[in-house]
Amino acid sequence: MNNDHDPAGASHWHLGPIIDALRTSRESTHNIRHQGRVRELPSRAVLQQVIEGVSAALFPTHYGRPDLNDESIDYFVGDTLNVALDRLVGQVRRALRFNPGLEDAGELELAEQARSITRAFAGSLPDIRALLVSDVQAALAGDPAASSVAEIMLCYPGTIAVLYHRLAHCLHRLGTPFLARLAADIAHTLTGIDIHPGARIGASFFIDHGTGVVIGETAIIGQRVRLYQAVTLGARRFPTDDNGALLKGAPRHPIVEDDVVIYAGATVLGRITVGAGSTIGGNVWLTQSVAPGSNVTQAQMRNV
């Protein structure tokens, strides 16, 4: 008889003392739970189901079922959205435990706040869809290799990353930053594009190719902006208080105004402004503001 996978074989490993030591580490010596006690965390797997369901409700034939017709599509949207929101409210409730001031809130208070946030999120979906349509149209207009809207929505990682960001940013704005951060990390895993949910991004945003793009928490991006792969909109330094502790949320990432193009490998750091209509060339390292209409290249930066 093969006992390689026999649970009864666990006794051969003398697990009792190990299990006891791990419990001691978890419960006291090395307890890393939030406030030392919060066990119930948001589920990454459930949140991904939520985002997939919401995406299907926003674009039913692209991310839902390709066989839908005029008679069935509204029923599909309603049923799919209902299931997604029922799942979301539970995840919001769990995430609220990590908000300052809510660590000791009662279950009824958390549940009501979660329902309110989820209703507001649902109410934002038509506006989010309008932004996403502008993003897809920007990709179709800006990429000569794009042959159709369907190709962009199904094959472009930048489109998927921006879709996740629009939803994550809404959750962030509504007061669930932890859940929003988890949604952003799911997108990062899927696409290789890392957009903090706090970043504010205007309409008609297009990330071409996309792998390695990083956009920081306090970045502000205007309308009709285009980024290529490996662009970083990051922080140059991290402000600290008198005790040397990092100041959370301080503005430290770039402001990119309307109609800017930033080519592959460019690194833009600090709370600087890239003026409207500017072009930032590939592999430029930029740490100072540039006027509207600027054309910044590596050769120019070497002469600064």
Domains and CATH numbers, the chain: 41-302 (1.10.3130.10)
Average pLDDT of the chain is 92
Q: How far apart are CA 273 and CA 87, in angstroms?
A: 40
pTM, two decimal places? 0.88
The predicted-structure confidence for 129-160, as pLDDT tens digits, reads as follows 999 999 999 999 999 999 999 999 999 999 99
> Within a 10 A sphere around the Cβ of 302, how many other Cβ atoms?
8
What would the two tokens of residue 12 be? 């051969």
Cβ neighbours for 160, distance < 8 A, ≥ 6 positions apart: 187, 190, 191
Q: Is the pLDDT of residue 2 over 60?
A: no
Beta pairing, strands 267-269 & 232-234: parallel
Q: Is the pLDDT of residue 83 over 70?
A: yes
Q: Are 262 and 280 in contact (CB under 8 A)?
A: yes
Which of 59-68, 134-143, 243-252 has the weakest average pLDDT? Answer: 243-252
What would the two tokens of residue 46 be? 């459930």
pLDDT at 10: 56
What would the two tokens of residue 108 be? 């009824």
b or e along 219-254 (b: 16 or more beta carbons within 10 Å of the residue's beta carbon)? Answer: bbbbbbbbbbbbbbbbbeeeeeeeeeeeeeeeebbb
Q: Are 214 and 221 in contact (CB under 8 A)?
A: no
pLDDT at 26: 81
Q: Are 269 and 254 in contact (CB under 8 A)?
A: yes
